[in-house]
């Protein structure tokens, strides 16, 4: 497995894998607890821009969050230009995806205990940026310092 692929074992025993594929974007597959076969790869976000900084997954109580970044010349050290935030619940068949352009990238997520809210976080020199997701409403707007 490389820096551009991450697999997470879920609290219910299932698994999810997300990979960043050159010239394709973000792809996901999953399998339920006890299953021997994976779902097919599903593209969550298409881009031909360079992959950056790997992919991060987290889960609380059946809610999975993902963070991924892309950017022109990112492999040469340039900052990301496309920051991907994603959330899925339950059987992971449907993902909510938010793209923030010309942004340094989300650093972390915080998922509340029941999985109904996710907060994406980036702590910059000028302060804390946040992006919220709620089960009933999806993604909101970025809160800037």
- Read off the pTM: 0.94
**Strand ranges for the chain from DSSP E:** 5-9, 15-21, 25-31, 42-46, 51-60, 63-70, 82-89, 95-101, 108-111, 117-124, 127-134, 138-143
CB 7 within 8 A of CB 16: yes
- pLDDT string in tens for the chain (145-residue length): 578 999 999 999 999 999 999 999 999 999 999 999 999 999 999 999 999 988 999 999 999 999 999 999 988 888 999 999 999 999 999 999 999 999 989 999 999 999 999 999 999 999 999 999 999 999 999 999 8
Q: CA torsion sign, 99 to 144 to 113 to 58?
A: positive
């Amino acid at each position: 497995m490389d820096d551009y692929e991450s697999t997470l074992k879920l609290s219910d025993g299932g698994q999810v894998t997300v990979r960043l594929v050159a010239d394709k974007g973000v792809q996901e597959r999953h399998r339920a607890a006890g299953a021997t076969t994976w779902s097919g790869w599903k593209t969550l976000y298409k881009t031909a821009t360079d992959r950056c900084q790997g992919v991060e997954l987290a889960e609380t109580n059946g809610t999975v969050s993902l963070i991924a970044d892309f950017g022109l010349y990112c492999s040469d050290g340039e900052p990301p230009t496309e920051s991907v935030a994603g959330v899925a619940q339950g059987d992971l068949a449907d993902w909510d995806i938010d793209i923030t352009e010309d942004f340094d990238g989300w650093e972390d997520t915080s998922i509340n205990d029941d999985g109904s809210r996710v907060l994406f976080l980036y702590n910059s020199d000028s302060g804390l940026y946040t992006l919220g997701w709620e089960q009933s409403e999806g993604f909101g707007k970025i809160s800037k310092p």
